[in-house]
Structure 1
Amino acid sequence: MKYSVSLNTFALASLLAAGTAHAQSSVTLFGMIDTGITYFSNQSGHSTVIEDGYVNAPSMIGFSGSEDLGGGNRAIFKLTQSFQSTNGKAMNSGTAFGQESFVGLESDRYGKVTLGRQNDFMVEMLQYTGIVGPIYGYHPGDYDRITGEQLNNSIKYDSPELAGLQGGVMYSFGSTSGNPTNTGRAFGLKLKYENGPFAIGAAMTDLNGTTINPAEIGLAYAFGKSTASTADSGIELHNLSTYAVGAAYQLGAARLVASYSYVHFEALDGAKDRLQTGDVGVTYDIRPDLNVAADYGYSVGLGGRWHVYNAMMNYLLSKQTTVYIDADFEHVTGAGQVAQLLYASPSSNSDQLALRVGITHKF
């Protein structure tokens, strides 16, 4: 009987403690869904029309939360999973929360420390690039990681902002199990500064143990060799290091941006190559619910040359819902190279055009 009373007392105490913690905590469900219709001028020699999602924005669902620890300190977490809206399929197969899953501590005074599967700092450079809208027009292969790439088993520190200056450092221990992002170690750095209408930022990531597939971005040659023999398996890298710098300036209703990224590749056999990309762009707010944007990007390296032009118009039906139209055009001039917008099927020649209408809803 004493055991029963003790157990009930413990259960009641646990419920009361949980209630107290709940009163001091907050959990938010959030996400977004993007879907649209895309016309491609040339995929494998003929035009196509498809329904495609995860293009203008990542379709994803997530949970974030914080617990007030007092004194300007908080415990925080974030769990997010991306998916293909056209069929509901998870984008990162084999992971329950493949986009990000981390937990950590945040302080108004000392900054933030988080641990888990996290985006590296390169994604923060997206605000300085001229890239607008659909992922088709992003940098070749996303090898500079600006669309948002994750590192497993990582620890990240973001400093507090001081006079407009803010920095960060992260380290990944790597992994070979589950859904590996890098089999060896990785580390990254960032530094950014904002003052009124002006902003500038720089970031880098250096990682060991990953694979790229130049054949999947329309390249006939990479590392001085034909890509035909590695079209199925890709090329294993000992090291990939990427660096980027960018700046933005708000001029009335217009936001002007420019950026440069550099990627260095070292294959397991010691062969080396590089990829450089520069782009410029502008976004203009015609009115609060209507804006237009345009961008030009030029990339060279890995045996290829890319000219990419993007233009977009967004109409905000509400704070949560946007409808848009977009055009992305790519022209390539590398030896044996064919045009292939990011995550699209290859063209049969040096040009490829994508026209899209779509809708994005946030919640």
Structure 2
Amino acid sequence: MLGIRAAFRQRIEAGHLPSLILWGPPGVGKTTLARLLAGAVDLEFVSISAIFSGVADLRKVFEAAEGRRQTGQGTLLFVDEIHRFNRAQQDSFLPVMEKGTITLVGATTENPSFALNAALLSRAQVVTLHRLDEAALEQLLQRAEKDIGAPLPLTPAARAQLLVAADGDGRFLLGMAEEIAGLSLDDVLDEMGLAEAIQRRMPVYDAKQDGHYNLASALQKSVRGSDVDAALYYTARMLEAGEDPLFVLRRLVVIASEDIGNADPAALSLAIAAKDAYQFLGDPEGHIAIGQLVSYLATAPKSNAAYRALKDAKRLAREGGSPMPPPHAVNAPSRLMKAQGYAKGYVYDHDTEEGHAGLDYFPEGLERRALYQPTDRGAERAIRERKAAYDRRRGTAAETKP
């Protein structure tokens, strides 16, 4: 973003800063970056939080910014947690942005595509910021130690543990550095001493926001890709962060039908059994059943043929109108219906030697389509062979009927 040859950097050096949406996890420097950008282009830095501000507060900010604009001073309005504003509040930024009264820099931890209005997004450039890696966290820690005037009293192993505990959050790391520096210690802290000092930090995860859906997606794709270790890892991430185990199980039941299907018909039964086992056992023993299910699903043969067949059938149902089933496919409970040909030509399959009469049950006038196309993986190989035999007999019956 700020590289020497970056177009964004060149625009800043030319004194022009577009409105921005800074999207990233907590503690990666969104507020700091906005403050530095304001200084780089000589704009007055004004900061508000969408959590504590309303329309009246915005009106005051806009009026003050307009006053500065009249004197030739621009305003960078930094809005933290901008996704917390409702649609009307977000729309209130549009006229002042277009007029040039403010340069908006919004910060959000949520996906702007879902959290912000399209009109606002069309007037701002989205910049994605990622969690800080270990090298960046170490650099922050060294700067903190320089500011403190002394190295933190940590063993090398404890220092590495602190970086891991920060989980990409620079704000948390600096807070802990300040706290550790203020301790009265007779000796350096080892890993156990550090754990007691900082207690336990929960992984970054909001069960109702992006983390929730990102990990659920990663779990399903890991199972679909038969990566059992990754699937178990994402399951553990969700459970350790306090996700409702029934949400995890619901996703696994979907996976059993959508991604495994008839390649292993037992997968769905095991998924339901795991759900029942969890509800019977509760926490934490019920997690064992979840782990068993995840490892089974990830290593099972995969097929989405049944899933795709239903989607195609729904599409055909929407596009094909409402044709009547053929006469032999419906019952004739009354004399009138018999006289009209209902049930005519029906053959009871169990009365035939093969157990299959070979009748075509597709509606007359609707072109037949092969909706379900079994794969040759797992149990679906035998299903494919049976389906082919049924199709052949149905074709023969169609040719010989009067």
TM range (shorter): under 0.3
TM-score (norm 1): 0.20
Greater gyration radius: 2
Structure with more of its chain in helix, by fraction:
2
Higher RCO, 1 vs 2 (CA within 8 Å, ≥6 residues apart) = 1
